Protein backbone atom coordinates (compact mmCIF):
# COMPACT_ATOMS: atom_id res chain seq x y z
CA UNK A 1 0.00 0.00 0.00
CA UNK A 2 1.46 3.33 -1.06
CA UNK A 3 1.47 6.03 1.62
CA UNK A 4 2.69 9.62 1.59
CA UNK A 5 3.71 11.32 4.80
CA UNK A 6 3.63 15.08 4.64
CA UNK A 7 5.20 17.38 7.23
CA UNK A 8 4.61 19.64 8.92
CA UNK A 9 0.81 19.45 9.08
CA UNK A 10 0.48 23.08 10.16
CA UNK A 11 2.76 26.04 9.65
CA UNK A 12 2.16 29.61 10.78
CA UNK A 13 4.84 32.13 9.78
CA UNK A 14 5.34 35.83 9.27
CA UNK A 15 5.42 37.39 5.84
CA UNK A 16 8.96 37.37 4.44
CA UNK A 17 10.04 34.14 6.11
CA UNK A 18 11.16 31.03 4.25
CA UNK A 19 9.64 27.58 4.72
CA UNK A 20 9.98 24.00 3.52
CA UNK A 21 7.33 21.30 3.32
CA UNK A 22 8.36 17.66 3.08
CA UNK A 23 6.66 14.70 1.45
CA UNK A 24 8.06 11.23 2.18
CA UNK A 25 7.25 7.65 1.25
CA UNK A 26 8.82 4.22 1.24
CA UNK A 27 7.34 3.68 -2.24
CA UNK A 28 8.71 4.76 -5.61
CA UNK A 29 6.45 6.98 -7.68
CA UNK A 30 6.33 7.66 -11.40
CA UNK A 31 5.94 11.32 -10.60
CA UNK A 32 5.17 13.62 -7.71
CA UNK A 33 2.59 16.37 -8.05
CA UNK A 34 2.08 19.39 -5.80
CA UNK A 35 -1.29 21.07 -5.45
CA UNK A 36 -2.51 24.14 -3.61
CA UNK A 37 -6.06 24.36 -2.29
CA UNK A 38 -7.89 27.43 -1.04
CA UNK A 39 -10.99 27.29 1.17
CA UNK A 40 -14.11 26.32 -0.76
CA UNK A 41 -12.18 25.32 -3.88
CA UNK A 42 -10.67 22.18 -5.31
CA UNK A 43 -6.90 21.57 -5.42
CA UNK A 44 -5.04 23.30 -8.22
CA UNK A 45 -1.94 21.74 -9.75
CA UNK A 46 1.27 23.70 -9.13
CA UNK A 47 3.89 21.40 -10.62
CA UNK A 48 4.75 17.85 -11.60
CA UNK A 49 8.25 16.42 -11.05
CA UNK A 50 9.12 13.27 -12.92
CA UNK A 51 12.86 12.60 -12.89
CA UNK A 52 14.82 11.66 -9.77
CA UNK A 53 16.78 14.70 -8.57
CA UNK A 54 14.66 17.07 -10.63
CA UNK A 55 14.31 20.65 -9.42
CA UNK A 56 11.59 22.97 -10.70
CA UNK A 57 11.07 26.61 -9.84
CA UNK A 58 7.81 28.52 -9.97
CA UNK A 59 8.57 32.13 -8.99
CA UNK A 60 9.34 31.92 -5.25
CA UNK A 61 8.47 28.22 -5.02
CA UNK A 62 11.12 25.53 -5.52
CA UNK A 63 10.14 21.88 -5.88
CA UNK A 64 12.54 18.97 -5.67
CA UNK A 65 12.09 15.27 -6.38
CA UNK A 66 14.34 12.92 -4.45
CA UNK A 67 16.97 10.91 -6.34
CA UNK A 68 15.14 7.65 -5.56
CA UNK A 69 11.75 9.15 -6.52
CA UNK A 70 10.37 8.41 -3.04
CA UNK A 71 10.31 11.90 -1.57
CA UNK A 72 9.86 15.53 -2.48
CA UNK A 73 10.08 18.98 -0.96
CA UNK A 74 8.51 22.36 -1.54
CA UNK A 75 10.47 25.43 -0.50
CA UNK A 76 8.90 28.89 -0.44
CA UNK A 77 11.19 31.91 -0.29
CA UNK A 78 9.98 35.14 1.28
CA UNK A 79 6.43 33.95 1.90
CA UNK A 80 3.56 36.31 1.18
CA UNK A 81 0.05 36.42 2.64
CA UNK A 82 -1.22 35.21 -0.73
CA UNK A 83 0.66 31.93 -0.20
CA UNK A 84 -1.77 30.99 2.56
CA UNK A 85 -3.57 27.73 1.81
CA UNK A 86 -3.45 23.95 1.99
CA UNK A 87 -0.49 22.41 0.15
CA UNK A 88 -0.88 18.81 -0.98
CA UNK A 89 1.69 16.45 -2.40
CA UNK A 90 0.43 13.55 -4.47
CA UNK A 91 2.27 10.55 -5.83
CA UNK A 92 1.38 8.93 -9.15
CA UNK A 93 1.94 5.19 -9.53
CA UNK A 94 0.73 2.61 -11.99
CA UNK A 95 -1.19 -0.57 -11.34
CA UNK A 96 -0.96 -2.28 -14.70
CA UNK A 97 -1.80 0.44 -17.19
CA UNK A 98 -3.95 2.37 -14.73
CA UNK A 99 -2.49 5.48 -13.16
CA UNK A 100 -3.42 6.13 -9.54
CA UNK A 101 -2.77 9.27 -7.52
CA UNK A 102 -2.55 9.20 -3.75
CA UNK A 103 -2.40 12.31 -1.61
CA UNK A 104 -0.52 13.21 1.51
CA UNK A 105 -2.38 14.62 4.49
CA UNK A 106 -1.63 18.19 3.46
CA UNK A 107 0.19 21.13 5.05
CA UNK A 108 -1.92 24.07 6.15
CA UNK A 109 0.15 27.22 5.71
CA UNK A 110 -0.82 30.51 7.29
CA UNK A 111 1.26 33.55 6.39
CA UNK A 112 0.64 36.50 8.68
CA UNK A 113 1.21 40.09 7.62
Partner 1 sequence: EAGVAQSPRYKIIEKRQSVAFWCNPISGHATLYWYQQILGQGPKLLIQFQNNGVVDDSQLPKDRFSAERLKGVDSTLKIQPAKLEDSAVYLCASSLNEGRYGYTFGSGTRLTVV
Nearest approach, Cβ of residue 77 and partner 1 (Å): 23
Alpha-carbon distance of 111 to 113, in angstroms, equals: 7
Q: Which is nearer to partner 1, 16 or 38 (CB)?
A: 38
Q: Say how many residues touch partner 1, by CB under 8 A.
A: 29
Question: According to the binding rule CB under 8 A, does residue 31 interact with partner 1?
Answer: yes
Q: Which is nearer to partner 1, 3 or 55 (CB)?
A: 3
Which of 11, 21, 32, 43 forms a contact with partner 1 (CB under 8 A)?
43
Q: Nearest to residue 29, comparing CAs of 97, 105, 98, 102?
A: 102
Cα torsion 27, 28, 30, 35 to 10°: value is 50
Amino acid sequence: TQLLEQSPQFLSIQEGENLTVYCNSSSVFSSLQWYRQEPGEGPVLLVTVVTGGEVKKLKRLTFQFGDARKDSSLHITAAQTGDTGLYLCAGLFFSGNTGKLIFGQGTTLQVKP
